[in-house]
């Protein structure tokens, strides 16, 4: 019996502008309309058994509703451990191990943002490595390399075990191009996939030996966690005091009982625009197109354009990524440096570093499609049976026009229904709420007007999603 644990942290800055800190790559619909997290959950669902508690996810508190929605879309149940701040994979895995039903529970730790199209081959690999993990070994999975990549760390294997695993001779940091070629020619090496299989007791003992300070803080954080439905919140103060460290540095590179199991199937961490490009078939000139791109007299050009027509004329060796509010153009060789762009945008105070124009909320989403002095226009989607907060604004009035579906509107003491092509007006300072009573998404255009149109001009009086009701002076950017 295996307990899948999906590690949902990570900011995905190397896939900017598609991935932003508020909506990282693991949540973005990338492959056939599905997110990498949803695909990961579907892949590990085959291991789920009620006695083991289903899937366990560990992620940021800010992303709790995105994680829950992905679990619902994948048809899996389980628990979600919410970190108040990012502390890397060692603490995240410790939280999961401390939540295991028994110390002997076999746990499969998987990143949320990897693409492994052959789920059957993945399952066979994990099951084959189970006996080794049950004997107290931490098993990591190595991908047979297909080219000398400088984007991945490597694992050099040692002696063979009877169960198909190998001992680990050494872990190798991401190499330069020449060293990567040497490693590939040498053989006996694998890409480090960052997937681990071990019992809860094995992991906790290894952390106790090599990172006792991390384990102590995690134990303190999980001593009396707050529980809210399937959300589990470790004590914030203890998590904030915990050292941030990856499991590779904290344990794997120093632990004695570590084994690697080879995986020969297709795998990608989708960690760069080069990796994204590789997922698209090339044309006769090496161009790869995702969406509405057009390449004319171009060579080795990748275009990612799902929102409008993007034409590359006479280009060579370019990556072009178009989103509604930001455009990236770079040569392939610089694609790994995109995270530096994000850091520069943050330093300049540009909101596009962290936020999309379209913002996901637990009730649906909104897209700020136009903005000017004293007005803003939004396209709002409300999921079936969902409701926005009961709220009011001190600085703006709103006009609502229903485009699709049915809206139940609370405005002051009135409650009434609106259908397609009908509209209403919410005066400044009036208490109001929007609810979708139907079974299909509600689509609405909102026109705001007033002296201040920031998202913090919200006094939330009631909320269905457990978000804190606060006065305007403390209000966060939530709705």
3-state helix/strand/coil string of 186-235: HCCEEEEEEEEEEEHHHHHHHHHHHCHHHHHHHHHHCCCCEEECCEEECC
pLDDT of residue 226: 92
Architecture of domain 358-474: Sandwich (2.60)
CA distances from 357 to 23, 136, 308, 321 (A): 11, 48, 15, 15
For the entire predicted model, the pTM comes to 0.88
Residue 154: which H helix or E strand, with range? strand 154-160
Cα–Cα distance for residue pair 11/435, rounded to 1 Å? 32
Cα–Cα distance for residue pair 235/394, rounded to 1 Å? 35
E-only strand ranges, 24-137? 29-31, 34-35, 55-60, 78-83, 106-111
pLDDT of residue 52: 59
First to last CA, the chain: 41
| Helix-, strand-, coil-residue percentages of the chain, each rounded to 5 | 25, 35, 35
pLDDT of residue 476: 38
- Residues of the chain below pLDDT 50: 472-478
Under DSSP, the state recorded for 161 is P
pLDDT of residue 477: 43
pLDDT of residue 245: 96
CA distances from 443 to 94, 164, 380, 416, 421 (A): 42, 54, 6, 17, 11
pLDDT of residue 217: 97
- Domain ranges across the chain: 2-263, 273-347, 358-474
Look at the domain 2-263 and name its fold. Spore Coat Polysaccharide Biosynthesis Protein SpsA; Chain A (3.90.550)
pLDDT of residue 368: 92
pLDDT of residue 352: 93
């Amino acid at each position: 019996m295996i307990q899948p644990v999906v590690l949902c942290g990570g900011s995905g800055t190397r896939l900017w502008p598609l991935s932003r800190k508020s909506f990282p790559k693991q949540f973005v619909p990338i492959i056939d309309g599905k997110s990498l997290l949803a695909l990961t959950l579907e892949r590990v669902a085959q291991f789920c058994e009620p006695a083991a508690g289903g899937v366990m996810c560990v992620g940021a508190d800010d992303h709790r509703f995105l994680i829950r929605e992905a679990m619902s879309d994948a048809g899996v149940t389980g628990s979600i451990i919410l970190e108040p701040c990012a502390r890397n994979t060692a603490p995240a895995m410790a939280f999961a191990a401390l939540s295991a039903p028994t110390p002997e529970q076999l746990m499969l730790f998987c990143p949320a943002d990897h693409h492994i199209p052959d789920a059957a081959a993945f399952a066979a690999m994990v099951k084959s490595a189970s006996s080794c993990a049950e004997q107290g070994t931490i098993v990591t999975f190595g991908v047979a390399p297909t080219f000398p990549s400088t984007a991945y760390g490597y694992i050099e294997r040692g002696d063979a075990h009877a169960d198909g695993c190998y001992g680990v001779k050494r872990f190798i940091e991401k190499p330069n191009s020449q060293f990567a070629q040497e490693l590939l020619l040498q053989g006996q090496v694998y890409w480090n996939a960052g997937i681990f299989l071990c019992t809860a007791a094995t992991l906790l003992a290894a952390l106790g030996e090599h990172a006792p300070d991390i384990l102590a803080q995690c134990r303190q954080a999980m001593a009396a966690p707050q529980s809210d439905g399937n959300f589990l919140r470790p004590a914030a103060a203890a998590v904030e005091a915990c050292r941030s460290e990856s499991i590779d540095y904290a344990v794997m590179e120093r632990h004695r009982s570590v084994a690697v199991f080879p995986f020969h199937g297709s795998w990608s961490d989708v960690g760069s625009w080069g990796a994204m490009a590789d997922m698209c078939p090339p044309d006769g000139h090496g161009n790869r197109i995702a969406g509405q791109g057009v390449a004319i007299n171009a060579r080795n050009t990748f275009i990612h354009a799902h929102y409008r027509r993007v034409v590359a004329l006479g280009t060579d060796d370019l990556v072009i990524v178009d989103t509604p509010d930001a455009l990236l153009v770079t040569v392939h060789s610089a694609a790994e440096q995109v995270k530096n762009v994000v850091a520069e945008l943050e330093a300049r105070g540009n909101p596009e570093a962290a936020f999309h124009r379209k913002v996901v909320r637990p009730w649906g989403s909104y897209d700020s499609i136009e903005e000017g002095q004293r007005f803003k226009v939004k396209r709002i989607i409300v999921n079936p049976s969902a409701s926005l907060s009961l709220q009011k604004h001190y600085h703006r009035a709103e006009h609502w026009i229903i485009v699709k579906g049915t809206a139940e509107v609370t405005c002051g003491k009135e409650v009434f229904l609106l259908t397609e092509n009908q509209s209403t007006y919410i005066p400044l300072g009036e208490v109001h709420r929007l609810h979708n009573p139907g079974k299909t998404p509600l689509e609405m255009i909102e026109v705001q007007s007033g002296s201040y149109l920031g998202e913090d001009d919200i006094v939330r009086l009631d909320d269905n999603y457990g978000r804190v009701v606060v006065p305007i002076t403390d209000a966060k950017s939530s709705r």
